[in-house]
C-alpha cells in the first residue's frame, strides 16, 4: 500500500511509511472511529477488491465484530453496476449488511444544456444521443465549439477520449460481446429491419462458433 495513505491522516511519524497490509489500515480506522465519528469511502471498489483478494471478507469481519458498534460509516462505490450488485448476492461476505443504497442516474437532456448553453435544441438532442448523460463524457465538451467540432475531436479522432469507448464498454461489462458487436456491425452496414439484423447476427455468431471449435480441436 502506498505511503500516501498514511499521509492523508496527518500522522507526522507515519508520513512516507506505508501500511504493511489492509488489516493494519483497518485497525487504524477502527481506532479513529473509537475517538470520533469517521467516514470511509472506497471508490471503484470492485477493482480494488479484485486487486486485493480477501479484502471483502476482511471488511465483513470488521463490520460484524467492531464497526457495527462504532460511529463509522463505510461507503463502497463503483461504476461497474453489475459488479456492485454482485457484492450483495447471497453467497458473498457482505450479503445482508447494506444499510443504504444510492444509485446515481445519468444527467438528463436538460442538464446537458448547462454544459453547452449555446447549443440549439436540435444540437442538444444530437449531443445527448452521441454523448449520453455521463458527467465524465459531458465534461469533455468544449462549450465554445460547435457540435461537429466536439464530435471530431472527442469521438472521431483516433486520439480522442471516446474514440474506442463503445468497444471498451462492451468488453468491460459483457462476458461475451460477440452478439452485441455483430448487432452494431449489422446496423453500421445498413441493415434496418429486425429480420435482416437477426439474420446477419446469426451468421456471424455461427461463424465465430465454428472458428472457436476448430481452434479447440
Contact 106, 128 (CB under 8 A): no
Q: What is the mean pLDDT of each run of 10 residues along the chain (217 residues)?
A: 51 59 90 91 89 91 92 88 82 85 86 94 94 90 96 92 78 69 84 85 63 41
Contact 103, 66 (CB under 8 A): no
Cα–chain-centroid distance for residue 181? Answer: 20
Query: How many Å apart are CA 133 and CA 112, to the nearest integer?
Result: 7
Beta bridge partners of 74: 40
Residue of 158, 161, 179 whose CA lies nearest to 170: 179
User: In 3-state terms, what secondary structure has residue 42?
Assistant: strand
Residue of 183, 188, 137, 189 whose CA lies nearest to 163: 137
Question: Which triple of cell numbers denotes residue 41?
Answer: 469511502
Query: How many Å apart are CA 13 and CA 162, to the nearest integer?
Result: 44
| Predicted pLDDT at 175 | 61
| Predicted pLDDT at 202 | 79
pTM metric for this prediction: 0.59
Q: How buried is residue 26: exposed, middle or buried, by Cβ count under 10 Å (0-12/13-18/19+)?
A: buried
Phi first, then psi, for residue 79 (nearest 5°) are: -90, -15
Amino acid at each position: 500500500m502506498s505511503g500516501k495513505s498514511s499521509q492523508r491522516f496527518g500522522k507526522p511519524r507515519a508520513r512516507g511509511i506505508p501500511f504493511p497490509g489492509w488489516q493494519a489500515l483497518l485497525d487504524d480506522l477502527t481506532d479513529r472511529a473509537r475517538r470520533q465519528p469517521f467516514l470511509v469511502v472506497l471508490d471503484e471498489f470492485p477493482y480494488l477488491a479484485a486487486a486485493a483478494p480477501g479484502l471483502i471478507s476482511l471488511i465483513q469481519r470488521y463490520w460484524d465484530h467492531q464497526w457495527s458498534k462504532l460511529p463509522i460509516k463505510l461507503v463502497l462505490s463503483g461504476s461497474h453496476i453489475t459488479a456492485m450488485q454482485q457484492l450483495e448476492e447471497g453467497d458473498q461476505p457482505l450479503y445482508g449488511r447494506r444499510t443504504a443504497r444510492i444509485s446515481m442516474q445519468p444527467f438528463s437532456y436538460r442538464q446537458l444544456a448547462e454544459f453547452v448553453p449555446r447549443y440549439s435544441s436540435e444540437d442538444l438532442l444530437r449531443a445527448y444521443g452521441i454523448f449520453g448523460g455521463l458527467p465524465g463524457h459531458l465534461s469533455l465538451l468544449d462549450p465554445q465549439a460547435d457540435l461537429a467540432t466536439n464530435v471530431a475531436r472527442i469521438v472521431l479522432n483516433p486520439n480522442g477520449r471516446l474514440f474506442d469507448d463503445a468497444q471498451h464498454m462492451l468488453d468491460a461489462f459483457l462476458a461475451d460481446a460477440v452478439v452485441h458487436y455483430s448487432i452494431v456491425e449489422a446496423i453500421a452496414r445498413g441493415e434496418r429491419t429486425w429480420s435482416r439484423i437477426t439474420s446477419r447476427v446469426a451468421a456471424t455468431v455461427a461463424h465465430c462458433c465454428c472458428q472457436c471449435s476448430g481452434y479447440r480441436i
